[in-house]
Structure 1
Amino acid sequence: MRLIVLGCSGSGPGPGSPASGYLVEAGTTRLVLDLGNGTLGALQRHASPWTLGAVVFSHLHPDHCSDFASLVVHRRYHPRPPYDATAAPLPVHAPPGAHDRFARAYAPSPEEYAATDLTDVFSFHDLAAGTPVTVGVDAVTVTAYPVVHPCPAFALRVEHAGSVLVYSGDTAACPELVDAARDADLFLCEASWPHDEANPAGVHLSGREAGEHAAAAGARRLVVTHVPAWHDRDEIAGEAKSVFDGPVELAFPDAEFAV
């Protein structure tokens, strides 16, 4: 597999990066994990949106899903689509309620929300904890693990041809994240602030906590992501390195990682 970072700025786009979004290539299958502010434009530097086999959302906070409305426009109104999108709706795997969430975001007014239907160009599928989903034609599986965040949220374990990529999504410290990342070849893990006992509970990880979860899971490699623009990325990566013996790298836009 190959992981391509579309955006990695935590909690919203920053001056040098879109918000959260990642392109995964596995054989001939392409899928996107999250599609935050600015990531649809970044995606088009690497692949046509028409070549995606699925879009998978870890959770439905805007910095992880707001560009979905633009993807609706792309698939409905592109003047030269390579095929009929209404005949081959793009699968969307997400926490329950995604269609309603995206319809509200796309509707031109609150009064028209009820009549907004996105199933002409997308098929919506609820993620279920521990139930693998097959994506594309190359035996790519995605398994969701519920994690701790202020809204329903999942870590995503992507497996293909013996390789394992795990994406934390947004999460606070929890044993389910360790389960998701067990023996991962690459663990893409959020770290949203420096370690401090006064950090709000149940929201995000510190750099130290990201490293601790990677170590507990036996991950082979850690890529730290989702650092907000107002924090020092090197400081947060340094915290992870202090508790995890494996390679630690920082995500950055357009970075590519072999899995």
Structure 2
Amino acid sequence: MLLNVLGSSGAFPTSESPCSGYLVEHEGFRILLDAGYATFPALLRHTAAESIDAVLITHGHPDHCADLNPLLRARALGGNDPARLPLYSPPRALDAVLALDRPGMLDDAYDKHEFTPGESFVIGPFAVDTRLLPHWLPNAGFRLTAGGTTLVYTGDTGPSPHLIELARDADILIAEATWPEHVPAEAAEVLSSAAQAGATAASANVGQLILTHLHPGVGATESVAAARRAYSGPIAVATER
């Protein structure tokens, strides 16, 4: 399994980083995992728009799905006539981004597959498990397994035992860590800190922790240090590559 980080900035993109987006590939099958602001240009540095085989979206906030619009425009208007792109998301998560264009303009560019978080399914060579994780909007955490490797991605989430269950013994956990130590009180149930991500990684016995969705201005060194107090395995901050 090959993972490329397209972006990881929380809330809004910066000059250094797009928002959340990950390109996951196995046996030539390419999944786009979230498509936040500014991830489409980053995607094009790795592959063509028509080469994406499926898209998984955790939830409907634009820092996780806004660049689905240029991706679909490129496939619909680029002249290569690719197959319809399967889009997987919780119910109604994509309604707003799919309504950005005139009615019917992109209808032939995608097939929408809505699922209830908690369901499991297969996409190409990937077995996909999902869990409902706490956020302001319904958010699906994803567990992708292919070729003996397991990758777990939280989307945006507050603390939850379902997250530990989802991440159990995963090779890689990509965990939302908006703040290093303490999440503001108004968001404490729906967002996480790097310290909490480290505790989750330790409890779930994951092989590697990747911190993502850091709020712009939050330092990587501070976040890694916060996660390190609970988790002794490899820790990195998601950066575009």
TM range (shorter): over 0.9
Question: What amino acid does structure 2 have at the position aligned with 1:7?
Answer: G
Partner SS state of residue 42, structure 2: helix
Larger radius of gyration: 1
| Contact map agreement 1:127 1:144 (CA 8 A) in 2 | no
Partner SS state of residue 112, structure 2: strand
Partner SS state of residue 184, structure 1: coil
TM-score by length of structure 1 reads 0.88
Aligned to 2:202: 215
TM-score by length of structure 2 reads 0.95
Q: Give the distance between the partners of 1:196 and 1:225, measured in 2 at CA.
A: 16
Q: Give the distance between the partners of 1:231 and 1:213, measured in 2 at CA.
A: 20
Partner SS state of residue 97, structure 2: helix
Partner SS state of residue 219, structure 1: coil
Q: Give the distance between the partners of 1:186 and 1:99, measured in 2 at CA.
A: 27
* Equivalent residues, number: 240
Q: Which 5+ residue runs of structure 1 have no aligned equivalent?
A: 108-114, 255-259
Aligned to 1:111: none
Shift of 1:213: 0.6
CA offset digits 1:13-69 (Å, max 9, x no partner) = 012100110000111111000001110110011111211110000111000011111
Aligned to 2:117: 129
| Contact map agreement 1:98 1:124 (CA 8 A) in 2 | no
1:246 aligned to 2:241? no
| Contact map agreement 1:15 1:229 (CA 8 A) in 2 | no
Q: Give the distance between the partners of 1:93 and 1:122, measured in 2 at CA.
A: 10
Aligned to 1:163: 149
Q: Give the distance between the partners of 1:235 and 1:127, measured in 2 at CA.
A: 37
Q: Give the distance between the partners of 2:32 and 2:39, measured in 1 at CA.
A: 10
| Contact map agreement 1:99 1:118 (CA 8 A) in 2 | no
Aligned to 2:40: 40
Partner SS state of residue 243, structure 1: coil
Q: Give the distance between the partners of 1:225 and 1:100, measured in 2 at CA.
A: 25
Equivalent runs, 1:81-230 vs 2, <5 Å: 81=80, 84-85=81-82, 88-107=83-102, 115-116=103-104, 118-136=106-124, 139-196=125-182, 198-199=184-185, 200-230=187-217
Partner SS state of residue 211, structure 2: strand
| Contact map agreement 1:103 1:116 (CA 8 A) in 2 | no
Q: Which 5+ residue runs of structure 2 have no aligned equivalent?
A: none
| Contact map agreement 1:211 1:241 (CA 8 A) in 2 | yes
Percent of residue pairs identical: 36
CA RMSD of aligned residues (A): 1.5
Shift of 1:106: 2.9
